[in-house]
């Protein structure tokens, strides 16, 4: 009922031309279960975003199959201006190469990238490996194992790419999430892992290198992969807002303005600081080319690592 | 000392106390409704916590969590339908007691055991968290594999009548958990080309079908039988002397729950089954287990509530969530600026101590609120059976539909319900199906990881470490003993063979 | 012997056996790493189910039938409603299901039935979908129903 009142008031004030479809509730699809890391970011993003748009919104969790179920749902609602998705890197730039999905990189109207966190190569602090060369040397003595939060996830891809490009001799074991993988790292079941700053800070870990073009603020003594004498590698965990294809340019502009304003709001900024989510805005066009570029790059990695033909 | 006093002060602020009362009470009701469990409860309350202070929001969520684990036992005892998967083992003895007219006593034991398990695990959490966390790190994939193998043996114990039928049900549950992506390689399994199936099947719809919907079908076939009426239930807490007689059972259940909770990746449902299986071997009244023996309720309820406290051990000490529920709690902590991890105890000592105090108050609140909650269920169950059954169908549907928002889960629940009815009519025990589904995924992925670590050599798994060798030897002993005793039973049964018409 | 085969207990065990064999066959023809555990589990399933079939066959006497009366109606309704939720949305699928359940459980007076249907199906749906904002499946693409 409140939604209708809200919308009615808006219609009178702004006139019918501006409230494109404001009488309906905006549905924000989060492709993870409630309470997960991505869901928390989306739920902090949602209230500010809908305030900016002047609509009521509701978060709908549609989890499963590495976030592709929820992402598919957005792709299927072609032309619907009242649905958006809060999508992670994996379901947009990795899964379409791995699985036969109903969507690809061209199936969406890209709104904005919200956050991005570079990934680090890390070992347990209790291990005596201090830098990348020692890691390689250790792997020559006895092949190592690296963990990931699941097959085909970014931690898997980043480490797999590193193994392909360097002299590192290591194979992959997947866990049901970053937590269990950290338990394995602490117990020396696996020897290294690639993941974000959040993980690095929460556990007793030592960064060896960062998968980014430049060194990262706060980690000035951690070299980039390129500085180790390897080809440049960029892996980061990012998220963004997507909408179905076929919405009007006007609606797209409304969304991206609201997104930009949300990321600049104090409320979201203070949350992002707590959650160690690095705000990294990209507008619609840059985001679209970014996703497509990442899609091709990840496809190449998957191919080189022998995960797809 | 100041910091502890300040922490106690935070926990006793009126906002926190109000949040505890509201959360715990709502948790008990939500847990008691079949289909709605801890995860749905937390999903409902999570959005409300965004505007609250850290301690208040944690108090609310911990209340919902602990309350829901206890609440599941109420419907398990009253109508043979566990409100949550964690309470599935409570039906083994809880419902027979109800049929014998001892429903008040059964509820009393469930309540007291839940309280006892919850408090004991808080104590363990407060005093032994770092040590237990360190020990849990030694549980790598291979040790977990050995432990889960041991736990799987409880299928034999809970298969009343026919071990073979129990085994088949365990395999069905195990198989259901394998549909979807392979956890290690990501390859699709048993999806037969269907994208919908590639996201796999989840526990809640299967539990809802196997227990809630099949119970409705069973009650429907006997709806004119006056004995099938839901009894008037009141709470009668056990007297001091009574619980003193069973203190070993209470302590053992709580310790098992506390230990299982401290291991990442298991959870309260697994703990309850393992504890029940242990009681079958060790309780002095083990002969009567399964026929309405309070020890069975104690084993199940003390251990599943003990998980609530100790599941915070890996979360707080290592930042590793023990199960889905603690993962959600961890997310809520992050929102409020608490970052779980190795430095939490140092950086945020006051918050952590407040959490400990909150956990204890929640368990006390649970004990106090159990009476009005059971009163509410008594009032609801006094309605015409049709209303109750229709409401259970609806709650089952809502529970299945909200797990992950996938309409396929409703169909899974309905099909499981129909199949489960047929299985029940032919005397197949259904608990193994849930056990297979709960323990199966962890059994499989720990084995596969172990094989990857040992480069495919299965026999090296057996001699991996001291812990794993001890666990595997125990397993071997248990298998020999089980086979031995079932041959003896089979011989005895062969002499007076039953026949069906 | 043939009569015994038609006993529901035997049919159920036989059905489980056949299902196990089909699935096991599928598992054995799949990739050896991903299908390692399924192969073990399903082979065991088939073996045990075969044993159960033989035991049931030796124990049953006569044809035996389970009196079901209108139970298949209730089962069918639950199944159809569960399938229909995906396309009709939660509310439209659950209203008739609740009404039918009340009717089958012998609540035949029109007023309690109508009220019960409205409160149990409509009320719970409203509570979750609109008050608690836990979204349930909706009718096609409009969000309200």
In this structure, whether the domain defined by A119-228 belongs to CATH 3.40.190.10 is answered with yes
Three-state secondary structure call for residue A115: strand
Which sign does the torsion angle of CA B289, B290, B293, B297 carry? positive
Picking from B138, B331, B405, the nearest residue to A35 by CB comes out as: B331
- How far does A21 lie from chain C, in Å, by closest CA? 12
In a domain, C139, yes or no: no
At residue A15 the predicted structure's pLDDT band, cuts being 50, 70 and 90, is very low
Contact: A24, C143; criterion CB under 8 Å = yes
Total domain count for chain C? 2
Residue ranges per domain, chain A? 2-117+236-304, 119-228
Task: Decide if B61 contacts B329 (C-beta within 8 A).
Answer: yes
How, if at all, do strands A170-174 and A236-244 pair? unpaired
Retrieve residue B421's tokens: 């009815």
Retrieve residue C103's tokens: 């009717």
Could you tell me how many residues make up chain B? 501
> Domain check: are C55 and C76 in the same one?
no
Q: Which residue of A has its CA nearest to C126?
A: A1
Which sign does the torsion angle of CA A27, A30, A34, A40 carry? negative
Strand partners, A262: none
Retrieve residue B183's tokens: 């956890």
State how far the Cα of B401 lies from the Cα of B341, in Å rounded to an integer: 33
Task: Decide if C53 contacts C11 (C-beta within 8 A).
Answer: no
> Domain check: are C12 and C43 in the same one?
yes
Query: What's the half-sphere exposure (Cβ side, CA atoms, 13 Å) at A173?
Result: 31
At residue A13 the predicted structure's pLDDT band, cuts being 50, 70 and 90, is very low
Q: Which of residues 78-137 of C touch A (CB under 8 A)?
A: 133, 135
Segment A2-23 mean pLDDT = 42
Q: Which residue of B has its CA nearest to C116?
A: B387
- ipTM of the complex as predicted: 0.92
CB contacts, 8 Å: B265 with chain A = 176, 180
Segment A119-127 mean pLDDT = 89
**Better-scored residue on pLDDT, A210 or C131:** A210
State how far the Cα of A243 lies from the Cα of A260, in Å rounded to an integer: 15
Contact: B320, A183; criterion CB under 8 Å = yes
State how far the Cα of B289 lies from the Cα of B56, in Å rounded to an integer: 41
Q: What's the whole-number average pLDDT of chain A?
A: 83
State how far the Cα of B265 lies from the Cα of A179, in Å rounded to an integer: 9
Burial class (CB in 10 A: 0-12, 13-18, 19+), B329: buried
State how far the Cα of B389 lies from the Cα of B215, in Å rounded to an integer: 9
Confidence check: pLDDT of A24 > 80: no
At residue A2 the predicted structure's pLDDT band, cuts being 50, 70 and 90, is very low
Picking from C133, C135, C141, the nearest residue to A80 by CB comes out as: C141
State how far the Cα of B418 lies from the Cα of B429, in Å rounded to an integer: 15
Retrieve residue B119's tokens: 């408090």
Segment A263-284 mean pLDDT = 85
Residue ranges per domain, chain B? 2-486
State how far the Cα of A116 lies from the Cα of A177, in Å rounded to an integer: 19
State how far the Cα of B112 lies from the Cα of B302, in Å rounded to an integer: 8
- How far does A77 lie from chain C, in Å, by closest CA? 8
Name which of C12, C105, C131 to mutate to probe chain B: the one with the most chain B Cβ atoms within 10 A of its Cβ: C105
At residue A19 the predicted structure's pLDDT band, cuts being 50, 70 and 90, is very low
In a domain, C22, yes or no: yes
Q: Count CB pairs under 8 A between chains B and C.
A: 177
Q: Domain range spanning residue C121? A: 71-131
- How far does A60 lie from chain C, in Å, by closest CA? 6
> Domain check: are C80 and C35 in the same one?
no
pLDDT in tens, A33-75: 776 778 888 888 888 888 888 888 888 888 777 788 889 888 8
Which sign does the torsion angle of CA C70, C76, C77, C78 carry? positive
Confidence check: pLDDT of A12 > 50: no
Cα-trace Rg, chain B: 22
Please name the fold of domain A2-117+236-304.
D-Maltodextrin-Binding Protein; domain 2 (3.40.190)
Task: Decide if A270 contacts A111 (C-beta within 8 A).
Answer: no
Three-state secondary structure call for residue A219: strand
How, if at all, do strands A170-174 and B180-181 pair? unpaired
In this structure, what are the phi and psi dihedrals at residue B403, rounded to the nearest 5 degrees? -50, -50
Triad B301, B352, A206: Cα angle to 5° = 110
Strand partners, A38: none
Which residue is listed with tokens 């104590």? B123
% of chain C at pLDDT higher than 70: 88
Quote the DSSP letter at residue B278.
H
State how far the Cα of A304 lies from the Cα of A231, in Å rounded to an integer: 14
Give the containing element (helix H, strand E) for A26: strand A26-30
CB contacts, 8 Å: A59 with chain C = 133
Picking from C133, C141, C142, the nearest residue to A58 by CB comes out as: C133
Residues 6+ apart with CB under 8 A from B22: B60, B63
CA-nearest of A294, A287, A237, A292 to A260 is A287
Contact: C106, B386; criterion CB under 8 Å = yes
Triad A52, A53, A58: Cα angle to 5° = 100
Contact: A58, C142; criterion CB under 8 Å = no
State how far the Cα of A228 lies from the Cα of A231, in Å rounded to an integer: 9
Three-state secondary structure call for residue A191: coil
- How far does A170 lie from chain C, in Å, by closest CA? 19
Q: Count CB pairs under 8 A between chains A and B.
A: 145
C74 interfacial to chain B (CB closer than 8 Å): yes
Give the containing element (helix H, strand E) for A119: strand A108-124
B327 interfacial to chain C (CB closer than 8 Å): no
Task: Decide if B362 contacts A68 (C-beta within 8 A).
Answer: no
Which residue is listed with tokens 């807490």? B237
Q: Which of residues 401-430 of B touch C (CB under 8 A)?
A: 401-402, 405, 407-408, 410-411, 413-415, 417-418, 421-423, 425-426
Retrieve residue B88's tokens: 């599935």
CB contacts, 8 Å: A83 with chain C = 141
Burial class (CB in 10 A: 0-12, 13-18, 19+), B488: exposed
Task: Decide if B117 contacts B303 (C-beta within 8 A).
Answer: yes
Picking from C51, C66, C102, the nearest residue to B425 by CB comes out as: C66
> Domain check: are C53 and C80 in the same one?
no
Kindly give the confidence (pLDDT) of every residue in chain C, 145 residues in length, as a single tens digit, with 9 standing for 90 and above. 666 777 888 889 999 999 999 999 999 988 888 889 999 999 999 999 999 999 888 887 766 666 667 889 999 999 999 999 988 889 999 999 999 999 998 888 889 899 999 999 999 999 888 888 777 887 755 555 6
- Residue by residue, DSSP assigns B95-149 as HHHHHTT-HHHHHHHHHHHHHHHHHHHHHHHHHHHHHHHHHHHT--HHHHHHHHH
% of chain A at pLDDT higher than 90: 18
Picking from C133, C141, C144, the nearest residue to A77 by CB comes out as: C141
Kindly give the confidence (pLDDT) of every residue in chain B, 501 residues in length, as a single tens digit, with 9 standing for 90 and above. 677 788 888 888 888 899 999 999 999 999 988 888 888 888 888 878 877 888 888 899 999 999 999 999 998 998 888 888 888 889 889 989 988 888 889 999 999 999 999 999 999 888 887 777 777 777 888 888 888 888 888 787 777 668 889 999 999 999 999 998 888 888 888 988 787 788 888 888 898 898 889 989 988 887 766 555 677 777 788 887 888 888 889 999 999 998 888 876 667 888 888 898 888 888 888 888 888 889 999 999 999 999 888 888 877 776 766 667 777 777 777 777 777 766 777 777 788 888 889 999 999 999 999 999 998 888 888 888 889 889 999 999 998 888 777 888 899 999 999 999 999 888 898 888 888 888 888 889 889 999 988 888 888 888 888 888 888 998 898 888 878 877 887 777 666 655 554
Alpha helices in B34-102 (DSSP H): 38-45, 54-79, 91-99
> Domain check: are C111 and C78 in the same one?
yes
Contact: B171, C64; criterion CB under 8 Å = no
Retrieve residue B81's tokens: 């339908």
pLDDT at B403 (0 to 100): 79
* C-beta neighbour count of B479 within 10 angstroms: 13
Picking from A101, A151, A201, the nearest residue to B185 by CB comes out as: A151
Task: Decide if A227 contacts A144 (C-beta within 8 A).
Answer: no
State how far the Cα of B189 lies from the Cα of B223, in Å rounded to an integer: 41
Task: Decide if C74 contacts B190 (C-beta within 8 A).
Answer: no
């Amino acid at each position: 009922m409140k939604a209708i009142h809200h919308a009615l008031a808006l219609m009178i004030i702004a006139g019918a031309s501006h409230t494109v479809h404001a009488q309906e509730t905006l549905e924000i699809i989060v492709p993870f279960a409630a309470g997960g890391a991505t869901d928390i970011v989306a739920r902090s993003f949602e209230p500010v975003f809908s305030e900016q748009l002047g609509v009521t919104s509701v978060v709908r969790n549609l989890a499963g199959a590495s976030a592709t179920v929820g992402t598919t749902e957005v792709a299927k609602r072609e032309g619907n201006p009242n649905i958006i998705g809060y999508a992670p890197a994996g379901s947009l730039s990795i899964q379409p190469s791995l699985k036969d999905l109903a969507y690809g990189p061209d199936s969406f109207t890209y709104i904005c990238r919200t956050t991005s966190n570079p990934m680090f190569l890390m070992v347990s602090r209790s291990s005596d490996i201090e830098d990348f060369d020692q890691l390689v040397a250790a792997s020559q003595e006895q092949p190592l194992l690296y963990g990931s939060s699941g097959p085909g996830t970014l931690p898997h891809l980043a480490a797999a790419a590193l193994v392909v490009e360097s002299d590192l001799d290591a194979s992959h074991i997947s866990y049901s999430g970053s937590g269990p993988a950290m338990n394995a790292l602490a117990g020396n079941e696996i020897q290294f892992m690639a993941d974000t700053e959040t993980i690095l800070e929460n556990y007793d870990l030592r960064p060896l290198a960062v998968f980014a073009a430049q060194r990262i603020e706060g980690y000035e003594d951690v070299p980039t992969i390129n500085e180790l004498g390897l080809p440049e590698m960029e892996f980061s965990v990012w998220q963004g807002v997507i909408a179905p294809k076929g919405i009007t340019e006007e609606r797209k502009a409304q969304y991206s303005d609201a997104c930009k304003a949300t990321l600049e709001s104090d409320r979201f900024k203070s949350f992002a600081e707590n959650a160690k989510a690095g705000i990294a805005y990209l507008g619609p066009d840059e985001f679209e080319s970014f996703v497509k570029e990442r899609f091709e790059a990840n496809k190449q990695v998957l191919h080189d690592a022998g995960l797809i033909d | 000392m100041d910091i502890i006093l300040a922490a106690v002060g935070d926990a006793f602020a009126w906002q926190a106390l109000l949040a505890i009362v509201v959360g715990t009470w709502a948790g008990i009701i939500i847990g008691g409704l079949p289909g709605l469990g801890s995860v749905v409860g937390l999903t409902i309350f999570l959005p409300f916590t965004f505007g609250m202070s850290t301690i208040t929001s944690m108090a609310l969520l911990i209340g919902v969590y602990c309350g829901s684990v206890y609440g599941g036992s109420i419907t398990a005892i009253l109508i043979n339908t566990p409100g949550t998967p964690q309470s599935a083992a409570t039906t083994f003895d809880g419902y027979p007691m109800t049929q014998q007219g001892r429903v008040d006593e059964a509820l009393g034991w469930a309540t007291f055991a839940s309280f006892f398990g919850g408090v004991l695990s808080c104590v363990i959490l407060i005093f032994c968290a770092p040590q237990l966390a360190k020990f849990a790190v030694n549980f790598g994939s291979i040790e977990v594999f050995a432990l889960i193998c041991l736990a799987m043996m409880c299928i034999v114990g809970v298969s009343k009548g026919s071990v073979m039928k129990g085994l088949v049900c365990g395999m069905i549950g195990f198989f259901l958990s394998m549909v979807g992506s392979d956890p290690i390689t990501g390859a699709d399994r048993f999806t037969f080309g269907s994208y919908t199936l590639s996201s796999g099947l989840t526990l809640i719809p299967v539990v809802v079908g196997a227990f809630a919907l099949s119970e409705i079908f069973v009650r429907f076939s006997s709806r004119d039988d006056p004995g099938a009426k839901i009894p008037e239930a009141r709470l009668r807490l056990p007297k001091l002397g009574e619980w003193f007689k069973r203190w070993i059972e209470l302590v053992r259940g709580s310790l098992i729950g506390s230990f299982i909770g401290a291991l990442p990746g298991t959870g309260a449902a697994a703990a309850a089954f393992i504890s029940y299986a242990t009681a079958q071997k060790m309780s002095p009244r083990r002969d009567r287990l399964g026929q309405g023996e309070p020890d069975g309720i104690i084993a199940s309820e003390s251990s599943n509530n003990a998980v609530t406290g100790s599941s915070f051990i890996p979360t707080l000490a290592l930042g590793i969530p023990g199960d889905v529920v603690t993962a959600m709690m961890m997310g809520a902590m992050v929102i409020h600026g608490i970052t779980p991890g190795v430095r939490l105890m140092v950086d945020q000592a006051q918050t952590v101590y407040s959490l400990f105090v909150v956990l204890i108050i929640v368990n006390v609140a649970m004990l106090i609120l159990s009476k009005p909650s059971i009163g509410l269920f008594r009032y609801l169950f006094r309605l015409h059976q049709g209303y109750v059954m229709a409401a259970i169908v609806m709650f089952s549907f809502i529970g299945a539909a909200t797990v992950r928002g996938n309409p396929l889960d409703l169909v899974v629940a309905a099909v499981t319900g129909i199949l489960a009815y047929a299985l029940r009519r032919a005397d197949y025990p259904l608990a193994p199906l849930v056990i297979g589904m709960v323990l199966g995924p962890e059994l499989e992925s720990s084995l596969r990881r172990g094989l990857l670590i040992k480069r495919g050599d299965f026999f090296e798994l057996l001699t991996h470490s001291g812990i794993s060798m001890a666990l595997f030897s125990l397993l071997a002993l248990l298998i020999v003993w089980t086979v031995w005793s079932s041959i003896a039973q089979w011989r005895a049964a062969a002499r007076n063979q039953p026949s069906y018409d | 012997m043939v009569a015994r085969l038609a006993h529901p207990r035997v049919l159920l065990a036989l059905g489980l056996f056949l299902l196990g064999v089909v699935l096991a066959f599928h598992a054995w023809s799949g990739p050896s790493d991903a299908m390692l555990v399924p192969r073990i589990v399903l082979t065991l399933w088939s073996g045990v189910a075969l044993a159960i079939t033989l035991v049931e066959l030796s124990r049953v006497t006569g044809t035996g039938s389970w009196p079901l009366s209108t139970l298949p109606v209730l089962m069918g309704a639950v199944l159809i409603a569960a399938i229909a939720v995906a396309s009709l949305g939660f509310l439209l699928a659950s209203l008739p299901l609740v009404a039918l359940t009340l009717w089958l459980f012998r609540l035949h007076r029109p007023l309690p039935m109508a009220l019960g249907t409205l409160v149990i199906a409509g009320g719970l749906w409203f509570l979750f979908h609109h008050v608690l904002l836990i979204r349930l499946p909706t009718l096609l693409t409009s969000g309200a129903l």
